[in-house]
Amino acid sequence: MNRVLVTGGAGFVGSHLCERLLDAGTEVVAADNFATAVTANVAHLLERPGFRLLARDVTGPMSAPGPFDVVFHLASAASPRDYFRLPLETLRAGSHGTERALDIAERDDARFVLASTSEVYGDPQEHPQREEYWGNVNPIGPRSVYDEAKRYAEALTSAMRRERAVNTGIARIFNTYGPRMRPDDGRMIPTFIGQALAGEPLTVTGTGDQTRSLCYVDDTVGGLIALAGSDVPGPVNLGNPHELTVLRIAEEVLAVTGSASRIEHVEAAVDDPARRCPDISRARRELGWEPEVPLTEGLPRTVAWFARRRSGPHPAVGA
């Protein structure tokens, strides 16, 4: 990969991907409309040779100076709080945005990597989830703006591969965590850490018996790069198969932070999946990839980043 485009390049996962690619000697053009990203995520990259940041909305006319070897399409709201706030924008990112990014890949005869999500499985009736599973999604519920946007993006990506011979790969990303998550984005890890550091109760939705599988961001980025460097069409699950209850994750956050906060149960979220755990057999077999960073290493790194951030300036969304 000599030159790549990363849509959503200033976001949480996108900024880590840009950094890893630059470290490998790849020229990177990052595009972001900053609807959910912060400039602080890529501020340390702005002076690096080979990095260019474009203020672009991928759902509109998308001018990106090519040619590119790979187009990574990560542009989308990804947390419930954000896609509830930006429902139409989220649907457009999955539809119009994916089409614009695919057009650029086709123009340059580039490899296209779609960052899809485990949310395409909905509240799964199969466990762990394999790529062959079609999912159990409420198409009109409040979460559907994200779930169905990604399902449509996968359908469009697959059609472009079949009908136009675009070299595409689909990654289904499971719960990813790490430094640069926004404290206010509403996702579990930043919410729990922020509450613990502030001495506030950790709010666990429902009983807390619902499960999640947490993958450290460095591992997720490694999976995306492995998919880009292959000819695997996917979909391929990228996640950690080690399953934990949400209540257990809250307890782990309390242990790492040393907080005396208590756990408080609140109303369960609508259409919240009861179990979420990937089968990563395909990633192991076809990409030679599996996660390497255990929670015992990734969580302290993440807590340390949040603790440092609390003592410094807090960049705002769209800053």
| pLDDT of the residue at 258 | 96
Catalytic residue among 83, 121, 146, 177: 146
| pLDDT of the residue at 318 | 29
Q: How does the average pLDDT of the chain come out, rounded?
A: 93
Task: Give pTM, 2 decimals.
Answer: 0.93
The CATH T-level fold of domain 3-177+216-241+275-292 is: Rossmann fold (3.40.50)
Question: What does the DSSP assignment read for the chain?
Answer: --EEEEETTTSHHHHHHHHHHHHTT-EEEEEE--SS--GGGTGGGTTSTTEEEEE--TTS--------SEEEE--S--SHHHHHHSHHHHHHIIIIIHHHHHHHHHHHT-EEEEEEEGGGGBS-SSSSBPTT---B--TTSTTHHHHHHHHHHHHHHHHHHHHH---EEEEEE--EE-TT--TTS--HHHHHHHHHHHTPPEEEETTS--EEE-EEHHHHHHHHHHHHTS-----EEES---EEEHHHHHHHHHHHHT--PPEEEEPPPTT--S---B--HHIIIII-------HHHHHHHHHHHHHHHHTS--PPTT-
Instruction: Note if 152 is an active site residue.
Output: no
| pLDDT of the residue at 312 | 56
**Domain residue ranges of the chain, discontinuous segments joined by +:** 3-177+216-241+275-292
| pLDDT of the residue at 63 | 81
| pLDDT of the residue at 315 | 42
Which parts of the chain register pLDDT below 70?
A: 311-319
